Structure 1
Amino acid sequence: MLNIFDIVKLTKIDHKEIDSNQIVVTDGNGKPNAILTELLNDVVSNMRIFVDMNEVYSVDDLMRELSEHTPLPSDVLEEYEKVLREPIYNINFVPKRGQVEVIVGEG
């Protein structure tokens, strides 16, 4: 099963890596999960600043890079890891908004 990291790593919009404001976490009914979305947006922002995603192939790789290249405390990195490992059930592209909805949990 794919997880959120896989989607962040593989998804491109107009041939560019997704930006933090382009990804939203929702439940199976399409209701946004504000907590996971905010946490994921923070992860993606820090990835874009501190990590070359061409050199990262797994959540473990990303966590290692973030711990080496950011001043983030270990508890924050643990939360990042949790959201990145969250299994996804579906993905929905919203072209008009340039967004990707990552669906976690069944409807």
Structure 2
Amino acid sequence: MLNVFDIVKLTKIDHKEVDNNQMVITDGNGKPNAILTELLNDVISNLRIFVDMASVYSVDDLLRELAEHTPLPEDVLEEYEKVLREPIYDLNFVPKRGQVEVVVGEG
């Protein structure tokens, strides 16, 4: 099963890596999860600044890169890991908003 990291790694919009505001985490009913979305947006912001995603192939690789190249404390990295390992059940592309809804809970 794919997880949130896989979607961040693989998804492109107009052939560009997604920005932090282009991914929204929802439950199976389409209700946005503000806490997980905010956490994922923070992860994406930091990785776009500090990490070359072409050389990262797993959550462990990404966390190691962030630990080496950012001043993020261990507890923040642990929270990042939780959201990145979250299994996904579905994807919904919203072209009008240029967003990808990542569904992490079953409906």
TM-score by length of structure 1 reads 1.00
Where 1:38 maps in the other structure, the secondary structure is helix
1:40 CA drift (Å) = 0.2
Where 1:32 maps in the other structure, the secondary structure is coil
Which AA in structure 1 matches 2:51? Answer: V
TM-score by length of structure 2 reads 1.00
1:10 CA drift (Å) = 0.1
Q: Which residue of 2 aligns with 1:59?
A: 59
1:31 CA drift (Å) = 0.1
Q: Which residue of 2 aligns with 1:84?
A: 84
1:72 CA drift (Å) = 0.2
1:20 CA drift (Å) = 0.3
1:88 CA drift (Å) = 0.2
- 1:33 aligned onto 2:33: yes
Report the identity percentage: 86
- Which structure 2 residues correspond to residues 1-107 of structure 1 after superposition, within 5 A? 1-107=1-107
Over the residues paired in the alignment, what is the CA RMSD in angstroms? 0.3
Unaligned runs of 5+ in 1: none
Structure 1 residue ranges (4+ consecutive) displaced by more than 2 angstroms after TM superposition? none
Which AA in structure 1 matches 2:91? Answer: I
How many residues align? The count is 107
1:27 CA drift (Å) = 0.2
